A = this chain, B = another copy of it.
C-alpha cells in the first residue's frame, strides 16, 4: 500500500496532476474494453502525451513493480486492454499525431493513438492507404492494431498489420527506448525483435512510434452481393475463386440471422436468404468488370440464387454499411445480454464443413449462434449469445465456444485469426498448441516474455494462463 502511495505521488510529480488519475469513477471507466469483460480495478490511469510520459510511467512502474496495461481505444474483443487489479492503465490515446506522410518513400509515421480511419483519411489525399481494416476502424488506434496484429476484410489480399509495419519505436519495461527495423522495404537486423513485438499484446513493451508501409488505393472497385439458399454453397465460393486465380479485395459472409439483425438495425432493404456474400473486386478500370463478371459466374456455379454486381457509389455504400454493421447489429439486437465472439480461421476448402459444425455445436449446447466473417481468408466470427447471470447458460456458451475453436483446429485452422488471445482465448490457445504437439512453444514464449520483462509488469494475466 505504501509503495502504491509512493508510486502515485512520484507519477504526479513527474507527469503533472493533469495526466494522472485515481478518481474511482475514472478507474471504473477504464476497467472495461470492447470485450465486455472486466478483470480488475486499476490503481491509477496515466494519459500519455509523449514518449517521455511513457518512459516516466514505466520507470515508476518498474521501480515499484506495479503492473501496466497499455490501452489505445479499448476496442479489443478478447480483453487484451483490460487492466489487472491494482495496475496502471497507460492510455496512449492522447498520442494521436500523424507525424509524417512520406509518399515518395512509401511510408507514414504515426503515434500509437492515431485512429485508423483518421490515418486513412489523411492518406487518401495522396491516393494511398494502409490496407488492413478491422471493423472498429473508426475508433481503434493504430498502436492497438500493431500490438494485436489486427486484420479485417481485406486480409485475403493484403494480410494483417504485420505485413505493413516497417519499424517501431518501443519503450521497454525498464524505461529504455529501442528502435526496431528501419523505414525501408527490406531490413535485416538479426533476430527480428520487430516481428516479435508485432502482435505481442502489450506483454513486451510500449509502442510509441510506428512506421507503416503505404499502398496505392485501388483504382476501381466493383461490389457484388450474392444470396444463397444453403450456407454450404456460400462456403464453396472461396475455394472456387482460388481455383480460378482470383483474390477478391474483400469477401464477406453473413448468415440468415445476421442479415436479419442488420436489416432491423440499419433499415437497409436487404433480401432474405440463408447466407449472403458481399465481395469487392478491384483493379484497373479497364479490367475490373471482367473480374466481376467472372466472380459472378463462379457464385452462380456454387448455387447463388441471386447475384448483383454494381459500381454505383450509393449501392456500394449500402452493402458496405450492411457488412460494417454486422457486429454492432448483433450486439444491439442480441436476444441475451452478453456475447462471446469467435475468431476462428480455417483453410477455405474447409469453410463449408466449418459452418456446418458451428450450427451443429450450437444446437448441441442449445445456445443461439449467428455467423459472419471474412470468408475470403477463412476467418469466421461466430457470435455466441449468453448471460453471465445464468451459470448454466454461461457454462454451455463457454463449452460451445471451446468446441467451435477445437473444430477449427481439427480442420487445420486456428482459434484466433486477428483478435489476439487476450484473456478470452488463453485456454483454447493451449488446446491448439496441444493438438499440434507444440506446448513447448508456450514455454519458449514465457521465457521470451521474461527476457523482456523479468518483473512481469507488462499486461500480466494476458495470453498465458
Instruction: Give Cα A285 to B291, complex, Å.
Output: 12
Interface residues of A in 329-369 (CB under 8 A from B): 343, 345-350
Interface residues of A in 170-190 (CB under 8 A from B): 172, 176-180, 182-190
Chain B residue, CB-CB nearest to A348: B105
A198 neighbours in B (Cβ, 8 Å): 192, 195
A291 neighbours in B (Cβ, 8 Å): 284
Q: Which of A29-37, A158-166, A272-280, A296-304 is near enough to bind chain B?
A: A158-166
Q: Flag whether A144 is at the interface (Cβ < 8 A).
A: no
Chain B residue, CB-CB nearest to A194: B195
A447 neighbours in B (Cβ, 8 Å): 451
Across the interface, A186 reaches (CB within 8 A) one of B151, B193, B348, namely B151
Q: Which of A20-28, A111-119, A412-420 is near enough to bind chain B?
A: A412-420
Chain B residue, CB-CB nearest to A199: B192
Q: Are A195's CB and B162's CB within 8 A?
A: yes
Interface flags, A239-273, vs B, CB<8A=1, else 0: 11011011100000000000000000000000000
Interface flags, A214-231, vs B, CB<8A=1, else 0: 011100000000000000
Instruction: Give Cα A412 to B347, complex, Å.
Output: 40
Q: Which of A4-12, A53-61, A316-324, A437-445 is near enough to bind chain B?
A: A437-445
Which of A102, A156, A182 has its CB near the most chain B CB atoms (within 10 A)?
A182
Q: Flag whether A283 is at the interface (Cβ < 8 A).
A: yes
Chain B residue, CB-CB nearest to A189: B429
Q: Flag whether A286 is at the interface (Cβ < 8 A).
A: yes
Chain B residue, CB-CB nearest to A416: B188
Chain B residue, CB-CB nearest to A177: B437
Instruction: Give Cα A29 to B16, complex, Å.
Output: 66
Q: A184-B414, A185-B155, A189-B432 are in contact. Are A448 and B445 (CB under 8 A)?
A: no
Q: Flag whether A106 is at the interface (Cβ < 8 A).
A: yes
Q: Are B416's CB and A187's CB within 8 A?
A: yes
Q: Flag whether A464 is at the interface (Cβ < 8 A).
A: yes
Q: Are A441's CB and B189's CB within 8 A?
A: yes
Q: Are A190's CB and B286's CB within 8 A?
A: no
Q: Are B190's CB and A192's CB within 8 A?
A: no
Q: Flag whether A91 is at the interface (Cβ < 8 A).
A: no
Q: Are B179's CB and A438's CB within 8 A?
A: yes
Q: Flag whether A449 is at the interface (Cβ < 8 A).
A: yes
Instruction: Give Cα A198 to B195, complex, Å.
Output: 9
Say how far A211's CB is from chain B's closest CB, in angstroms. 10
Say how far A248's CB is from chain B's closest CB, in angstroms. 12
Say how far A345's CB is from chain B's closest CB, in angstroms. 5
A418 neighbours in B (Cβ, 8 Å): 186, 188
A290 neighbours in B (Cβ, 8 Å): 284, 286
Across the interface, A448 reaches (CB within 8 A) one of B177, B186, B191, B195, namely B191
Across the interface, A104 reaches (CB within 8 A) one of B242, B343, B448, namely B242
Chain B residue, CB-CB nearest to A149: B188
Q: Are B186's CB and A379's CB within 8 A?
A: yes
Q: Are A186's CB and B345's CB within 8 A?
A: yes
Q: Are B172's CB and A440's CB within 8 A?
A: yes
Q: Flag whether A103 is at the interface (Cβ < 8 A).
A: yes
Q: A178-B438, A192-B195, A199-B192 are in contact. Are A104 and B413 (CB under 8 A)?
A: no
Q: Flag whether A128 is at the interface (Cβ < 8 A).
A: yes
Instruction: Give Cα A201 to B188, complex, Å.
Output: 11
A127 neighbours in B (Cβ, 8 Å): 245
A185 neighbours in B (Cβ, 8 Å): 155-156, 159, 345, 377-379, 417
Q: Are A180's CB and B441's CB within 8 A?
A: yes
A179 neighbours in B (Cβ, 8 Å): 436-438
Across the interface, A188 reaches (CB within 8 A) one of B283, B377, B414, namely B414
Residues on A lying within 8 angstroms of B by beta carbon are 102-107, 127-128, 148-149, 151, 155-156, 159-160, 162-163, 172, 176-180, 182-193, 195-196, 198-201, 203-204, 215-217, 238-240, 242-243, 245-247, 283-287, 290-291, 343, 345-350, 377-379, 412-414, 416-421, 429, 432-433, 436-438, 440-442, 444-445, 447-449, 451-452, 463-464
